[in-house]
Amino acid sequence: MTQTHMAREVAEIPAAARRLLGEGRGAIEAAAADLRDVNPAFVSTVARGSSDHAATYLKYACELSLGLPVASIGPSVASIFGARLKLGGAACFSISQSGQSPDIVAMAQAASDAQACTLAITNQPDSPLARASRNTVPIMAGPELSVAATKTFVTSALAGLAVLAHWGRDDALIAAIDALPDQLEAAARLDWSPLRDALLARDSMYVLGRGPSYAMACEAALKFKETCGIHAEAYSSAEVLHGPVEIVGGDYPVLVLAARDAAEPAAMGVAEQLATRGAQVFATSDMAKAATRLPFVATSHPLTEPLALITGFYAFIEQLARARGRNPDTPANLRKVTETT
């Protein structure tokens, strides 16, 4: 097989991140200044699929960096049920690489009509979503041809994180964000072949994370399904002990996406517990003992760490898909732009 679109697009992630942080800085700072002026009481998010995983990541980032609570709104609240939410005095972040899905656009428009400070994060700055929103940050990822989103996911999450950092005038986080493209370049070259070899003939697994890395676990589980046909479920490393752990054992594969943050000891405590029960556990942490350590790229801030983790994962999952005889660019039952009402 010649190089897949997915492999090429994963390799383009660092350049896309540099473009966003350079050419897109004006839009990022303008959105942040508007949010600072409005001073919302809370933030809501609207998204689906991979974009919703980016929204989950931004929920943790916002709550940890700004102390503002974040709620995810189901798009069908507006598009199907016609409810009018009381979003005056709130901010609303809508994330969609295409900016075209009718339910996302309807919810963004409803939020704007309710006088929320709305922000569209999209790869299409002239899209219906952008027109329905007060502010737009174009993610500048360029064309993405593979059905599986990779560079649009990373740049969507990075765009939102940059807005939060400038909104809060967080110099340490801004510096970490500016240093991230080089770290993403290193992450895309990591070798996770032990995990690839372990999953060649597997059909079911868990992916665990905690805090911001839980969002990456959700994204990774989706990619296992989309590109490899593996039924992967994502859980918080705390939540997995509340029932799902019952089916773990007997060499059951578990991937733990652990970041260098306050949650790492707890996440790895669960990883080690599962490994001692007989699960085949792989973890991105130096705390791994019974679990198998996977290489990772440490960044200079806990909130940028998950973006390096998912970039390394993307390079791995493309290789696993091909090793399983699948083309990750063209899953049989999926298409690039999914429009729901």
Nearest Cα residue to 160 out of 66, 237, 297: 66
Same domain, 241 and 150: no
Same domain, 125 and 273: no
CA 23 to chain centre: 22
Same domain, 81 and 164: yes
- Residue 97 falls within a domain, yes or no? yes
Q: What is the pLDDT along the chain (341 residues), one digit of tens a residue?
A: 589 999 999 999 999 999 999 999 999 999 999 999 999 999 999 999 999 999 999 999 999 999 999 999 998 888 889 888 999 999 999 999 999 999 999 999 999 999 999 999 999 999 999 999 999 999 999 999 998 999 999 999 999 999 999 999 999 999 999 999 999 999 999 999 999 999 999 999 999 999 999 999 999 999 999 999 999 999 999 999 888 877 888 899 999 999 999 999 999 999 999 999 999 999 999 999 999 999 999 999 999 999 999 999 999 999 999 999 999 988 765 555 566 65
Instruction: Give the position of tokens 């059909």.
Output: 203
- 329: which residues sit within 8 A by CB, 6+ positions away? 4, 5, 6, 145, 146, 147, 148
Nearest Cα residue to 168 out of 40, 297, 5: 40
Nearest Cα residue to 220 out of 124, 323, 339, 306: 306
Give me the CATH number covering residue 281: 3.40.50.10490
Domain extent, residue 317, equals: 193-323
pTM value is: 0.96
Domain count, the chain: 2
Measured CA distances, 103 to 50, 138, 199, 230, 289 (Å): 16, 20, 36, 28, 46
- Residue 179 falls within a domain, yes or no? no
Distance separating alpha carbons of residues 108 and 119, to the nearest angstrom: 8
